[in-house]
């Protein structure tokens, strides 16, 4: 029989149980990251979803905005979300991703053209991959039956935070540039 001895703190009144929340990460690219971040924050901030913008899916370490815009790094402008799946499901976030941009255009959203503006879901687990594929099939059938979705569903790689002035850009700059294709379609 195995016994473990625990030493108790002398001041038990200072003990505070900690509530642990299991969070997950979701990463999406849907054109200019300012509008994508703004819409996720607007619609899911109340559910505890946090956002940050950055670059992922490329071949250069620590790229900056100018490098990514050149198209040479192969990174996408992306939004990384941290969420509690007890409050909002990954499937809901994926469906919203499709709702808020045009997933049928390769390497562009509206006037923003280049591989950095591609439509992509960067999954962080096998379960996220399967969910993304299932939601994509449903969205294809229900909303784009005559136009193929070109969204990439690929493994997440290193996410590099964008420069500070890009974070929460449209909150700090109301009326700043928003890609005209970032709106809810259904």
- Known catalytic residues are 32
Burial of 5 (C-beta count, 10 Å sphere; 0-12/13-18/19+): exposed
Pairing of strands 119-123, 152-155: parallel
Query: Tokens at residue 147, please?
Result: 């136009």
As beta bridge partners, residue 45 has: none
Question: Count of CB atoms within 10 A of residue 122's CB?
Answer: 23
Burial pattern 23-32, b for ≥16 Cβ within 10 A else e, equals ebbbbbbbbb
Give 150's DSSP letter: -
Residue 79's beta-bridge partner residues? Answer: 28, 53
């Amino acid at each position: 029989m195995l016994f473990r001895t625990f030493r108790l703190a002398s001041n038990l009144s200072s003990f505070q149980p900690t509530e642990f929340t299991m969070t997950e990460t979701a990463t999406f690219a849907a054109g200019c990251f300012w509008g994508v971040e703004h819409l996720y924050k607007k619609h899911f901030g109340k559910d505890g979803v946090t956002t940050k913008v950055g670059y992922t899916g490329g071949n250069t370490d620590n790229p900056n905005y100018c490098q990514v815009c050149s198209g040479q790094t192969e990174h996408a402008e992306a939004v990384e979300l941290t969420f509690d799946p007890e409050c909002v499901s990954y499937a809901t976030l994926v469906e919203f991703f499709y709702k808020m941009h045009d997933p049928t255009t390769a390497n562009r959203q509206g006037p923003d053209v280049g591989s950095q503006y591609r439509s992509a879901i960067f999954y962080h687990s096998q379960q996220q991959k399967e969910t993304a594929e299932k939601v994509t099939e449903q969205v294809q059938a229900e909303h784009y039956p005559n136009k193929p979705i070109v969204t990439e569903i690929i493994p997440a790689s290193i996410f590099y935070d964008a420069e500070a002035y890009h974070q929460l850009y449209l909150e700090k700059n109301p009326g700043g540039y928003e890609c005209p294709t970032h709106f809810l379609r259904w």
